[in-house]
Structure formats: C-alpha cells, structure tokens
Structure 1
Amino acid sequence: MSTQRNILAAILIFGIFMLIPQYMEMIGVVPEMEYDDGNGSHAARQTGPQVDTYSATPSVPEKNHLHSAGVSEILTIITPLYKANISSYGGGSVVYYKIHETKNQTQRYVGGYDSLGVYSKANSVVLLHDIGHTSDYCAPCLSVKDEGVFKKHNQAFSRKTSIDIINGVLEVGEGEVKEIHYESDGVQKKLIVDGDSYSINHFFDYDFKSADEVEVAWTSGVFPSEPSINSSLSYSADELSYSSAYAYQNESLESITQNSQVGLPAEVFNEKTDWVAIRTKFFGMVMLTDKKSNYASLSSENFLFRGDDDVLPIYSAGMGGYPSRGQLNVTTYLGPLDVDRIDLLGQDKSVSSIMNFGWSIIQPFSRAVLWTVKTIHNSLGINYGFVLIIIALLMRVITGPLTRKSYESSAKMKIVAPLQKKVQEKYKNDPQRLQQEMGKLWKEHGVNPVSGCLPMLIQWPILMSFFIVFRSTIEFRGASFFGWISDLSQPDYLIALPFDIPLYGGAVAILPILMGISMFLTMKITMQATDDTQKTFMYFMNVFFILIFNSFPSGLTLYYTIFNFLSYQQQLSIKNSK
C-alpha cells in the first residue's frame, strides 16, 4: 500500500503540472512568438531610454491661462509610490509609469526593462513606456460609437492651470490629494491623484449629442517586469503565462489569454460588468466605474518588444454601453498585485480574483498561507527565506500525525498482503465472494486499504495552496536569502549553459537538485518492498520534478526542499522506532 500511496502522490502532482488545463499557465510553457508583418503588429514602442529629468529654470507656478488643445502636452506626476507622465491626449492618458521604491520595499520594485526592451537589475519597474505621445493608445480614454463605428475620443485636451504644477511637474506627497482639470469639445475631465495610492480617479462629464453609445477603454496594456530564463527570448515566458485580460460580470470572472503569435480580436462579453483588468505576473491594471457597463470588451495585439527580435502581446480592456451624454467616474489602479491593496478596490473584494488563488476550494487555504507568510515576516522582521523554513517546520508538525497514520496503515497492509494474495487466488473466479472475503480479512486485521492514501488527499488542498502562493506572490520579488539565492521570486541559477535544454532551460539551479536528493532519500525508505517496475517509475518522477522545478522560483523550491528533508527525518524516525 506504501507503493500505491507513492504512486498516487506522483499522479496527483503530475496531474497538477500536466493534466489540468486551468493550471497550465503555472508551468510557464508559452509558445515562442515570432513577428508577422501581416498581423498588424505595432512598431517598437520606444523613443529611447526614459530618464528622469528636471528643468534647471526657477520653480515658478503656472500663470493663469488655459493650455491650448491640438498639441500634446506632457505633465509629470510624482508621488511617493510612482512617477507618471500623462498626456493631454484623452485628457490625462498615462503614457509612462514607473514604480518607486519605498522605505519598506527597497528591493521589491527594482529590476525591470527600459524602453528598448533591455532588462537590468538596476532598472526600476516600468509598467508603461513612453510611445511618443501619440493618440494611438489610451490609458484610459473614452471611445464613442457613431453610426456603428467606435472612434477613440483621444485628441489633445486643454488643461486648466494649477498653482500646484511647477515646470510641468505635479508633486503629490504622502497624505495629499490633488486635482488636474482638462476639457475639450463636449467633455470636461477631472483627475484626482492620491499620494498614498496607486489609483487615479478620472471623472468624465460628457455630451456627444448624436452618438450611439460610449465606452471607456484602456488600450496600453501592462509591460513585463521579469527577466527571461530562456536565452531565445528577451522577456520572461513564465511571466507571459500569467498575463491575461479579465472582466468581472455577475460574480463570475471572464478572461482571455494569448498563447501564440496571433493576436486576439476583440471578444465582447454581453453582461453587466463591474470592472476589467490586465495583469502580468506581479503587477496589474484594474479599471472600475461607478456605473456597471452593459458589456466588456477584451483583446490583444502584438507589439515589437525588442527591435525585430520578440513580439509581446499587449492587452486592451474596455467597458461599454454607456449613454451618449452623462457623467462617469472611472478609477484606474496601476501597480503591484499586493493583496492588501487589491482588496481595497471595489466593495466586495472581487478584484482579488485576478490573483490566481486557485479553485474556490483552495482559495481559503491560499489566502491563509499568504497571511501567514506576511504575518511572520512583519512580526519577526526576518528574511523571507527564514520565513519559509519556519512555515515548513510548522507544516511538518501539523501534518506529522497524518504522515505517521499513513505510514502505519501501509505497514499493516504489507503484513496482510500475503494473506490477501491467497484469498485472491482462491476466489479469483467468484468476484462477489472475493469482495466479501477481502472485507473480512481487512476487518480481522484492523486495516483499511484507503487509510494510507486518505491523509495525503486531506493534505492536497494545503499543498496546492503553497504551490500557488509561493510561485507568484510579490512578497518574494527581490527578496534575497543567502549566498547564490539572490531573489526568491526567481530560479536560483548558479551555472549558465551555452544552450537551452527542453523542459529544463538554459541554466542549472541548485535547489531543485537538493530537492531531488530529499525526494530520493524519502523514496528509499518508503519503497524498500516495492518491485523494480514501480521503483523505476518513481525514480523517473523524481528526475521529472528536478527538470520542472529548475525554472520555478527559488522560494517555492526552498520550501519543498526543507519540507522533504523534514519528512525524510520523520520517516526515518518512524522506521527506527519499529
């Protein structure tokens, strides 16, 4: 029965990786994208590296006048959390957005791409890159349907002056809230910027007269932030597997994901919509309105990320069906997928559904795991690597009795196995009698054939929640442990290879090898009476996990490595006590 338990474990985990479509995105296997001239891909979205510059002229507040429309004007907003450039196109559409380091997260928001698509650990995270201030993109803007055709209302607006704006820069400090006012034909717009939030409020007062309807759209996507683990790609295929666009309707989450080089045409979801969102692995954009829309529109199109080398999908999301005249209050969040901040969006915490906490049965466990990680870290002020070790110890203590129960049940089944074989031979031609006699045999010896597997099945939601949370939590981003483990959100690569190995990658990580050793030691104890065929299968699974985990975050692998070594020690202790 020990063998059956091991095989069940392998099948369960193998199914998680390979046989469950909903979780295919977790393994980061995304087809490599090639540029296709015929698919309408964008030209490179860059005008050179973005550099923070400030005028050397004296700081003088703006004089009282209306900045003219028709010409793009860029206004820089600086808060403790981010720096954003907004364009007069669309009345304050965001064209550049950089996350700032904070006093509590000095490394979490370091490491990113410049506008040329070059990654550096010294770069800050930039979620939107400057595209030349054209009206091709909006973040956000109104789109007007007239005679059956949608057109973006994304021309240059006039901006009203403000004494808070000095040399084209609006600084919003901690605890401050400031406003920016724009206007154009038929539209008055007010932006409200909060120095303590990644959210910007866009208030539209519009009248498009004879138009059919109005949509509010975000067409600039969200740029990647994670380095590639594949030498043939400049961006992270693992991050790309998390990238999607979402719409929340009737307490249900709809989504689209581009998994090939072909962009996805607009897909319309005709239900009342609370909000739409776009995410990458660690960051995202959420757009909410004060009035539910009649539908949501999601799409993606290809963008040349690094010259002619790579194509990146850029997602668009819109909410439409609003009347041609009225008022609309739109809130856009552009920042980290931090559950504490995401839960503040909306009124029912529904936005957190984009964070991939798993199926509904697993979500409470995932939230509990994340809460435990953050609580231990914040309470003790210790490195996240030590937090993972503490959690592994706690889980070993909690699951220890279940493991012992499973081991003892398997030991009893080994004793009964010869008697069971005799009964099977005796009644092999009488299935009904065989079932009766087997039941009697198990009852006489106080064994249950499923008792060895049941403890493992009970632990499965917990183990799955650890896999989900440790694979994608932003808390581990930039968090070092010791030695070569410099970022718990990335693989702990130590040796680079001159080529890529399918399923393995282009570098050698150390923790997956240590995890494989821990699995091998545990198998040596639990499979002593197993036949050679079953042993071969289990050893194959061991090698398979080493290959798979080579590209997984080191925080996830560290947890499983520690947990497995503790499991081995427990199995050894149980064996020696017999």
Structure 2
Amino acid sequence: MDKNQATGLILIALMLITYFTFFKPEVPQQEELVETTEEVTPNLELPDSTSVGAAPTLPDSLINVENQTKFGVFAAGAKGESQLVTLENELVKISIDTKGAEIREVILKNFNSKDENPVRLITDKTNEFVTQVTSMGKSIDLTELYYSANTSTISEGQKITFTLNLGGGKTVSHEYFLAADSYEVGYNLRLRGLNNDITKDEVLFNWNEQMITQEKDVEMSRINSTVNYYTLSDGFDEIAERSMEYEEEIINEPIKWSTIKQRFFLSAILAEKSFSKGKFSTDVDMANPEMVKNAKVSLTIPKEDVTASEGANFRFYFGPNDYHITSEFAEGFSKNLWLGYPPMLWVNKYVLIPLFDLLNNVLNNYGLIIILIVLIIKLVLSPLSYKSYLSMAKMKVLKPELDEIKEKHGDDMSKAQQEQMKLYQQVGVNPISGCLPMLLQMPILLAMFYFFPQSIELRGESFLWADDLSNYDSILSLPFEIPFYGDHVSLFVLLMTASTILITYSQQQVSTVQGPMKSLSYMMPIIFMFVLNSYPAALSFYYFVSNLVTFGQQVLIRRFVDEDKIRTILEENKKNAGSRKKSKFQQRLEDAMKAQAQKKGKK
C-alpha cells in the first residue's frame, strides 16, 4: 500500500467517526417501548382476565345473556357453588352434589372390595346421572344447575332437599330420603310452576355407569353382570348376562324399574307410577380389568308426573343382591338373583335357601354348613338312592340272561328288545326304575350351579385353604393359560374329579352298561374338571363332599343287598309270572315294540 492509499483510508475513517458522533439518527420510539416493557413486565401483577393467553372475563351483563340463551327460564341456576352433602346410616353412605343435585358416590359400609376397602358402588368418575327437560325447543340438563341444600333429620331417617328458585313461583326441587337400616333411597323430582315452560311431554333420565370390579375374578363377575328391567305387561327381563358384545334393548311400553346388576351388588331405580319407555345397553372393555361392564339406562318420565303438585316419586336401591332384602323392595325385584328355571328355581327357593338360613342361624362356619347341607339332602334322598342301587343289582343278576338274548337274536334288535321286555315282565323288574331316582335328584344337583356362585353370604368367607368360598381356590398359578381350564389349579375341583371317578368305578361293579357308554361315564368327570375349575370353591367343595357321602352310602347299601337273595326272588317271580298282571308302562312299551316290529316287517 502506497502513501496516498494509506492517507485516503485514514480520512474516510475519520469522516465516519465524526458522522456517527455528531450526526447519528435518533433511536425510534418503538425500540424504547420494547426495552421498557421487558424491564417492567416481571414486576407487574395483572388480574387473571388480562394474563397472556387467558380468555377475557365477560361483563356480568353478557354472562347473564349467555346463561339466558343456554338455560332459558332455568338461567337462575347457572351460577353457584359445588358442595357435597351426605346421607348416611349404618349400611350406606351417599354423597350428593349441590351442582345438579346429583349422586356422586355410594359406599357400602359392610362389604369390602378386592382391595379390602369398603365397596364404592358409585363414584363421580365412573357414574353419571343426567336429567333433561325440553324448554322452548332447547334441551336443558338439570344436573348442570346449582341448588341450595337443606338437610334435616327426622324420626324415620335423614332428608336433603335441593331447591332452585327461578322466581315467579317457579321452582325445581330434588328431595332425597334415607331411612335408618336401609339400602333404599327415596327420591322426589318436582318442577313447580313450569308446566307451560316445558314444551315436550317427557323428561329424560339417563344413567351411565362403568361397573367397578369388586371381586378378584373379573371373568366370573362379567358373566354375572347386566341390566335388568321390569315392564308392567311382561314382567322381568334382561340383557344377556354372558354376552361380551354390545347389546341393546329398546322398550316402548311402561317400565316399573331398572337395575344395573353386578354379581353381588345392585344399583336400581323404581318409579312409583312407571316410566313410559326405556332404552338399555351393555358392552365390555376386555382390556380393562378394573371395569366389569359399561351399562347405559335411558328412561322416560311423563311430564305430568314431575309438574304435578306432589312431583314424581322414585326409589333408588344401592345394596347387596341378597334374596331376603330384594324380595321386599318391589314386585319381581328378587329375580335379580337368578336362581334358575323351574324345577331348579323351586329347589333353591323352597329347599336350599331356607335350609341354608336355618343352619346359618346356628353356625358361623360356612364349610361346616355346606357339609351339613350335603348330609341332610343325602339323608332325605336315601330311599331313592337305595331303590336305584337295588335296581342296578337286579339288572346285574339278569345280565347273563340278557347277554344270552342278545347273542341269540344277533342283529335283530327289535326281536331282542321284545325278548328282554318279556324277561323283565316275568321277573318283575322295571328297567328304568334305576334311572328315575337319579332323574329326581338332578334338579338338586343343577340347582347348586345357581345357588353357590351367587350366595353373597359366602363372599369373603374362608375355609381350609380356600380364602374366599365365592371365588375359586387356587393351589398353583400357572405361567400360561390352558384353553377351557384357566391359569390356575383348583384343589377342590381335583378332589371332586377323583371322587367322581371313584364313584363311577363303584357303580360299574353293579351296572350292566357296556361298550362306549361305559367309557363315556369316565369322561364326564374330566369334562367337569375343566368346567368347574374357575367356579366358586363352595360349589366344587359341595360336590366333593356329596361324592364322599354317596360312596359311603353305596358301601353301606351293599351290605344289605344280597345278590343271591335277589336271584332267588327273581326266580320265584318268573315261576309266578302267569298270575301277575303287566304294569301299564310295560304294556305300552311292549305294544310300541310290536308296532315297530310290524312296521319293519312290512318294509
């Protein structure tokens, strides 16, 4: 760089320094505002309505207009405070919110859930009651409104009245009443002075509930949970309990009551008059073991009922599915405890339940009660058992002659049957007399399938290694699941299976059954082992004890049944066959066989 270039650069630098020192432009005012804002903002305390990102608070006048638009004549209830008010007795605690006058929680004090805490039948997270009216073409949800609560204690129990004063003599009131020592909650809904403001002739009561899992065995709970209802024309009906799919029923006729039924507990509503119609549905989220099923109940209340001076009266039931309690709540309500079809229903209703209650008043050990039930039933049925065994012994004595007839007539089954019937008539033996006593005992055996899985008295009661007789007993948990069997091993079921095989072997010693039927009789205990592995321990224990008593009966009867004496008696009967008249059954059976043989001969 030469001298001239260096001199030029120095002069340019001096000119720039002079310019920015004496002639620089003024800083724009916007820059100063930004800088000032950054310095002041941290110390500002702005109200919520002016915070960055918060919605501005509307003036009261605009809020009133908005509420008036949304709720119409009910706008006075749009603002208020949510508080829980409690109804409580020795059995149940019920929390009701001043917002909506809605039941938020129901706790059953005397029953524990699987987590050992009191059963929470209803919670605000799993249950929703919605009461809707139509006013001037708009659907108004009464459970979105705020009410004032007045609690009073009367001689019969506790009462809470939730009131919303709309002015001009118009009020909405919800009244709840809980008596001492009761699971029933009285409920009255009254819309006073609002007849002209409600423009649709029906009020909707919608009830959505996710049934909380209360038992350890959620699968058994699911197949015993559903929605039941009772119509004035057809009586009791239900959505299929065992369904794991979405199920829906629409009923366009008067309904008296509806129940959200779990295995051991019920939540129900009953109308003093009736609901005009209803819609019910259930579905299952199989991936959520904390919920049994989802239930929805939609009931329609006639407008004239709630606008009448006395209002519409209802009753809730929140409590155990106990036959003795539910039978007093309403007509047909005890059917929530399904005891089977007749004759199993009759056996449970008139034999097992009274017998169980009688023993329960004396003993507090349910294992011993089950043993005594077995002994009493077996004692009463012992004449039938003796007759059945005696019939099998007679058939065993006749077996050589029966085999001879089969061999003689070969493939001519019709002729063989006629000869067999002739032999039976000669010796005075009825071939089905051994089956009838067994058939008469079948309703009792089957009734147990309905009785034990639903007996709330057994819930949480332990015996031997079973910690809960209403649940399966497990001595071994498997790391995998066996189809149709499960992921555990029930010892009572194994004992029942072994004892059944033992009895089958004992009966085969006096039975004439041969071929595939003989093998099939040994397969039945194995089949029941798979079926009963996840059933309550009380049921498999009952069958196990019953098998032991049956085996003892057979050993005892065998001492009094002398096959030689039977053979002598049958021979005497054969000699006197000509003087003995055929029974009506034998005559009809013989005539049927002859007719069949003649028909076959014509072909």
Normalising by structure 2, report the TM-score. 0.71
1:490 pairs, out of 471, 482, 485, with 471
**Residues 1:258 and 1:446: Cα distance change in structure 2 (over 3 Å):** closer
**1:182-219, Cα deviation, whole Å (9 max, x unpaired):** 13465222111112111111101124521231233432
Alignment partner, residue 319 of structure 1: 299
Q: Distance in 2 between matches of 1:146 and 1:227?
A: 47
Contact kept in structure 2, 1:416 and 1:445, CA below 8 Å: no
Among candidates 158, 171, 178, match of residue 147 of structure 2: 158
Aligned residue for 2:554? Answer: 571
State the match for 1:255 in structure 2: 238
Distance 1:442 1:298, change over 3 A: same
Change (3 A) 1:287 1:509: same
Cα pair 2:212 2:291 within 8 Å, conserved? no
User: Which runs of structure 2 are paired with 1:169-568 in the superposition (5 Å)?
Assistant: 176-184=156-164, 187-206=172-191, 207=194, 209-220=198-209, 222-228=211-217, 236-249=218-231, 250-257=233-240, 262-265=245-248, 267-301=249-283, 306=288, 312-323=292-303, 325-326=307-308, 327-346=311-330, 348=331, 350-367=332-349, 368-378=351-361, 380-424=362-406, 436-482=418-464, 484-528=465-509, 530-531=513-514, 533-568=516-551
Query: Following TM superposition, by how much is the alpha carbon of 1:74 offset from its aligned partner in structure 2, in angstroms?
Result: 2.0
Query: Which segments of 5 or more consecutive residues in structure 1 lack a partner in the other structure?
Result: 1-65, 102-108, 113-119, 165-171, 229-235
Whole-Å Cα distance in 1 between the matches of residues 534 and 285 of structure 2?
26
Deviation at 1:531, TM superposition (A): 4.0
- 8 Å contact kept, 2:226–2:282: no
CA shift for structure 1 position 401: 1.3
Q: Which residue of 2 aligns with 1:104?
A: none
Contact persistence 2:211–2:291 (CA under 8 A): no
Q: Is the 8 A contact 1:511 1:561 kept in 2?
A: yes
CA contact (8 A) 2:160 2:177 kept: yes
The structure-2 alpha-carbon separation of the partners of 1:146 and 1:446, relative to structure 1 and needing over 3 Å to count, comes to farther
Q: By how many angstroms is 1:81 displaced?
A: 0.7
The answer on whether the counterparts of 1:67 and 1:159 sit within 8 Å (CA) in structure 2 is no
How far did residue 313 of structure 1 move? 2.4
Structure 1: how far apart are the matches of 2:173 and 2:418? 81
Higher-Rg structure is: 2
Judged with a 3 Å threshold, the aligned counterparts in structure 2 of structure 1 residues 477 and 258 are, in CA distance, closer, same or farther, namely closer
Distance 1:88 1:125, change over 3 A: same
Q: Quick check: 2:137–2:199 contact (8 Å CA) kept in 1? A: no
Q: Residues 201, 451 of structure 1: CA spacing in aligned structure 2 closer, same or farther, 3 A cutoff? A: same
Q: Please report how far the alpha carbon of residue 423 of structure 1 lies from its aligned counterpart in structure 2 after TM superposition.
A: 4.0
Deviation at 1:526, TM superposition (A): 0.9
Aligned to 2:98: 88
Preserved CA contact (<8 Å) 1:81 1:100: yes
Once the two structures are superposed, the pairs formed by residues 60-209 of structure 1 within 5 Å of their partners are 69-91=79-101, 93-101=102-110, 109-112=111-114, 120=115, 122-131=116-125, 137-138=128-129, 141-144=130-133, 152-162=141-151, 176-184=156-164, 187-206=172-191, 207=194, 209=198
Write out per-residue CA displacement over residues 34-62 of structure 1, whole angstroms, 9 at most, x where no aligned residue.
xxxxxxxxxxxxxxxxxxxxxxxxxxxxx
Deviates further, 326-335 or 491-500: 491-500
Partner Cα separation in structure 2 for residue 536 and residue 459 of structure 1:
23
| Aligned-partner residue type, residue 108 of structure 2 | I
Give the C-alpha shift of residue 527 in structure 1. 1.5
Letter in 1 for 2:426: E
User: Alignment partner of 2:144: what SS?
Assistant: coil
Question: Matched residues in 1 for 2:343 and 2:177: separation?
Answer: 39
The C-alpha deviation readout for 1:192-251, integer Å capped at 9, x for no partner, is 1112111111101124521231233432254231113xxxxxxx1111001010111225
Specify the code of the residue in structure 1 equivalent to 2:121: L
Deviation at 1:323, TM superposition (A): 2.5
Partner-residue secondary structure (3-state), 2:159? strand
Q: Which residue of 2 aligns with 1:56?
A: none
Residues 111 and 123 in structure 1, CA contact (< 8 A), matched pair in contact too: yes
* Deviation readout 1:139-162 (Å, 9 max, x if unpaired): xx5333679997653213312333
Amino acid at match of 1:125: V
1:540 positional shift:
2.2
Amino acid at match of 1:76: T
Amino acid at match of 1:99: L
1:336 CA displacement: 0.4
Aligned partner of residue 471 in structure 2, secondary structure: coil
Letter paired with 2:314? V
What root-mean-square deviation, in Å, do the aligned CA atoms of Structure 1 and Structure 2 show? Answer: 2.9
The TM-score normalised by the length of structure 1 is 0.74
State the 1:546 CA deviation. 1.9
- Write the letter of the residue equivalent to 2:495: L
Deviations 1:335-389 (A, max 9, x none): 101111101102x3x10111101113322211231221122111x1331111111
- For residues 409 and 303 of structure 1, the distance between their equivalents in structure 2, rounded to whole angstroms, comes to 54
Structure having the higher helix fraction is 2
* Aligned residues between the structures: 469
Q: 1:127·1:224 contact (CA, 8 Å) conserved in 2?
A: no
